[in-house]
Amino acid sequence: MFEGLKSRLQKVQQKLGSSIKAAVASTPEEEEVQQPQIRDTSSVQVETVLSEIPTASEADEVVSSTVVESFLEPEVVPEPIVTPVVRQDLSPKVKQPAEEPSIVTPVPEKKEKVGFFKKMKVFVKERELILAESDVKDVLDELEMVLLENDVALPVTEEILRHIRHDLIGSHRKIGTSPDLIVMETLKDALLDVLGEGFDLPAYIRTHDRPVKILFTGVNGTGKTTTVAKVGAFLLKNGFSVVIGAGDTFRAGAIEQIDIHAERLGIKVIQHQQGGDPSAVLFDTVQYAISHQIDVVLADTAGRFHNRANLMNQLAKVKRVMKPDLVVYVDEAVAGNDAVIRAEEFEKTVGADAVVLTKADMDPKGGAAISIAHTIGKPLMFLGVGQGYEDLIPFTPATVVDDLLGGES
């Protein structure tokens, strides 16, 4: 689905990542400057001075050896006693504790100071990249062409580019952040912003009074009647009871077509003769649902263009009589911008609460799916992706964006 747009978006995504990498590479690196080491010499000088002063133990040892030698010598002729002259040691005396033979001088613990160069190193490691317009201009120009060539409406394209510029240009990004991650998050946010939130039909039915009345409108040949049958199959699978009103009394074969679908699915159909008043058919369908406690009424109507005044007036009458809870506009994805314009006109004339796009599997571009919700301000409910009754998928914006960008939820 949307393979053409997907491949081109992923190429732009890679180029945008390369542009950011180039901007990171061009950011000047600050070199780390080593601080000069200052040696503390005060403790060395103190130790040198102290080593020159004799200790008390050394002095005692000298005196003891002298006494022992004089005692062991044989007695000879007594000689006159000469009193030795003891020179007074004028060097400063240092009192030493008796228990410790040497002096241990504690060295104060040095506290590391954070200087200018250290701070600069931290700043460089934690610096941020600020992207300029020139860093991504060429890639954004290419992205604009990719979106427009794939049928994305001009206002939607401009909104996507505005969102990307707002997120990237002038914003502060950590240098270590992966450029691929930056690009993925930016593109994803921009696309989700225009796609809206989708529409959870089962949740809506559970929170509203029964029967929930759903009116399907749209132009000719877009697969509206088949979509009614697919929605019926989807609701049955989710545990709801359904009745279909054959309100397309204008097109030849429309009643027979919805009859065949309903018979295959086991759904009751309320119908009148061809050419009858569709308002009367749908009024009877609602009354049947009320009396039989049916959960959901699905109302088919004839296809019509917004510029056919008589048919649009007829549709307005159907709305007044049926009083639908939801009006669902059905168009085909392959119509591209035409589908967006028609949806906008239907919204102005009869209103719409949600959109279903058929033939999405045949649309390589995907522009209508991206544009329609943002253009008319109404959510996409389903995408038709095949001919089978099960080929109707609830539109989940996050899943579609992940598929387009090659990411994971």
Among the residue ranges 127-131, 164-168, 255-259, 295-299, the one predicted with the least confidence is 127-131
Two tokens, residue 241: 């009871």
CATH fold of 201-402 reads Rossmann fold (3.40.50)
Determine if residue 206 is labeled as part of a ligand binding site.
Answer: no
pLDDT band at 234 (very low <50, low <70, confident <90, very high): very high
pLDDT tens-digit readout, 178-190: 566 777 788 888 8
Cα(67)–Cα(121) distance, rounded to whole angstroms?
Answer: 70
Residues carrying CATH 1.20.120.140, the chain: 3-13+128-195
- Confirm or deny that 303 is annotated as ligand binding: yes
Q: Are 242 and 294 in contact (CB under 8 A)?
A: yes
Identify the band that residue 377 occupies on the pLDDT scale cut at 50, 70 and 90: confident
Q: Is 356 annotated as a binding residue?
A: no
**Annotated binding residue 407:** no
Q: Which of 404, 407, 401, 403 shows the shortest CA–CA distance to 192?
A: 401
Residue ranges of the chain assigned to CATH 3.40.50.300: 201-402
> How buried is 227 (Cβ within 10 angstroms: 0-12 exposed, 13-18 middle, 19+ buried)?
buried
Is a pLDDT exceeding 90 seen at residue 281? yes
Q: Give whole-number Cα distances, 175 to 25, 32, 42, 167, 398, in Å.
A: 10, 17, 45, 16, 28
What whole-number distance in Å separates Cα of residue 57 and Cα of residue 53?
A: 12
The mean per-residue pLDDT over the stretch 321-347 comes to 90
13-27, 107-121, 171-185, 186-200: segment of lowest average pLDDT: 107-121
Least confident among 47-51, 89-93, 151-155, 218-222: 47-51
**Alpha carbon distance 354, 379 (integer Å):** 5
**21/333: higher pLDDT:** 333
Is 301 annotated as belonging to a binding site? yes
Evaluate whether 288 touches 268 at the Cβ level (below 8 Å): yes
The annotation status of 249 as a binding-site residue, yes or no, is: no
Whether residue 220 is annotated as binding a ligand: the answer is yes
222 known member of a binding site: yes
Give the span between the Cα atoms of 8 and 404, in whole angstroms: 9
**pLDDT higher than 70, residue 266:** yes
- In this prediction the pTM is 0.69
The 3-state secondary structure of 296-342, one letter per residue: EEEEEECCCCCCCHHHHHHHHHHHHHHCCCEEEEEEEHHHCHHHHHH
Instruction: Give pLDDT tens digits for 31-76.
Output: 444 444 545 444 444 444 445 545 544 544 444 444 434 444 445 5
Distance CA 373, CA 199 (A): 11
CA distance 386 to 216: 19
323-to-252, 284, 345, 356 alpha-carbon distances in Å: 26, 13, 21, 20
Before 211, cis peptide (omega within 30)?
yes
Residue 277 annotated as lining a ligand binding site: no
Whether residue 400 is annotated as binding a ligand: the answer is: no
Query: What fold is seen in the domain 3-13+128-195?
Result: Four Helix Bundle (Hemerythrin (Met), subunit A) (1.20.120)
336 in a labelled binding site? no
* Backbone dihedral angles phi then psi of residue 59, each to the nearest 5 degrees: -65, -45
- Is 310 flagged in the annotation as binding? no
- The better pLDDT of the pair 270, 81 is held by 270
Does 224 belong to an annotated binding site?
yes
Confidence of residue 22 (pLDDT cuts 50, 70, 90): low
